[in-house]
Chains A and B, each alone.
Chain A
């Protein structure tokens, strides 16, 4: 009886291991970033782009309006592509766009805005990229839709017409 039990036991262990490996084979090995939404906005103080003043994150999102926090940089090519869409979105009165200027040179960032326009109500100057990490960002460009102090959606990569439509639908 004991001798019969052992092969059954070993076979069942092999079957379990096979199932685990077989299931893992079907999983994608391409990393998809987690979208951590429906969270409160992070608390931090940051430098403003326009002056050397410091501002608290809570002071930027005080009203019950919708906010779009956009992480951008003058050296980022996809940021140039999404910029006209942000300029268009900034015309909507129900939303305010806040920028985080990520690891940039102030002069170059300013000439970027002079050339393409400034859709931002306020810009945070994130010289070391630490503020972007506070938001759980991976790089530039990245945008967060905020309402009542909560992150309600996150867009990794450049915004496109479909995403802008989606944002407009949410805020209307």
Chain B
């Protein structure tokens, strides 16, 4: 019975470690997608500036409060604008950025396939 209790305690501790690891993964994922606004070309994850360190603590606090990844992005977008996100969302300011590569790919594909059809004929 004692062994069973011990096993249960070990299982309990390890299950919490797993939760913490998941938490860290999400935190790292979020901070890698946040731009350090006072650095040059660095993410919050990579930077050790005062601003980046504060943001890391804030992201951790928000995750502990139960906020999801997208809710944290929304929150920071509200404070600092779209620029803080490395991965911009599709909206009226960014639609060219998102749609132009797809458009060029489709047109290129159409031109190539057309030239093949002509050659076959």
A contact residues vs B (CB 8 Å cutoff): 6, 9, 13, 20, 31, 33-34, 36, 102-103, 128-130, 132-136, 138-139
Could you say which of B4-12, B14-22, B75-83, B85-93 contacts chain A? B75-83
Instruction: Please give the distance in Å from A151's CB to the nearest CB on chain B.
Output: 11
> Other than the known A129-B57, A130-B54, A134-B79, what 8 A-B pairs have Cβ atoms closer than 8 Å?
A6-B111, A9-B107, A13-B104, A31-B37, A36-B78, A128-B57, A136-B80, A138-B38
Instruction: Please give the distance in Å from A134's CB to the nearest CB on chain B.
Output: 8
The 8 Å CB contact of A129, one of B54, B81, B107, is B54
Contact B79 A128 (CB under 8 A): no
Which of chain A's residues has its CB closest to B115's CB? Answer: A6
Across-interface contacts of B61 in A (CB, < 8 A) = 130
Interface size of B in residues (CB-CB distance below 8 Å) = 19
Across-interface contacts of A20 in B (CB, < 8 A) = 96
Q: Is the interface of A mostly helix, strand, loop or mixed?
A: loop
Contact B83 A13 (CB under 8 A): no
The 8 Å CB contact of A138, one of B51, B53, B57, B78, is B51
The 8 Å CB contact of B58, one of A33, A36, A133, is A133
13 A–B pairs (Cβ distance < 8 Å), ordered by A: A13-B107, A33-B80, A34-B80, A34-B81, A36-B78, A36-B79, A103-B50, A128-B54, A128-B57, A129-B53, A130-B54, A133-B55, A136-B80
Contact A138 B107 (CB under 8 A): no
Which of chain B's residues has its CB closest to A127's CB? Answer: B57
Across-interface contacts of B55 in A (CB, < 8 A) = 133
Contact A103 B54 (CB under 8 A): yes
Which of chain B's residues has its CB closest to A34's CB? Answer: B81
Instruction: Please give the distance in Å from B68's CB to the nearest CB on chain A.
Output: 18
Instruction: Please give the distance in Å from B83's CB to the nearest CB on chain A.
Output: 7
Across-interface contacts of A133 in B (CB, < 8 A) = 54-55, 58, 79
Which of chain A's residues has its CB closest to B37's CB? Answer: A138
Which of chain B's residues has its CB closest to A2's CB? Answer: B114
Instruction: Please give the distance in Å from A4's CB to the nearest CB on chain B.
Output: 14
Contact B54 A132 (CB under 8 A): yes
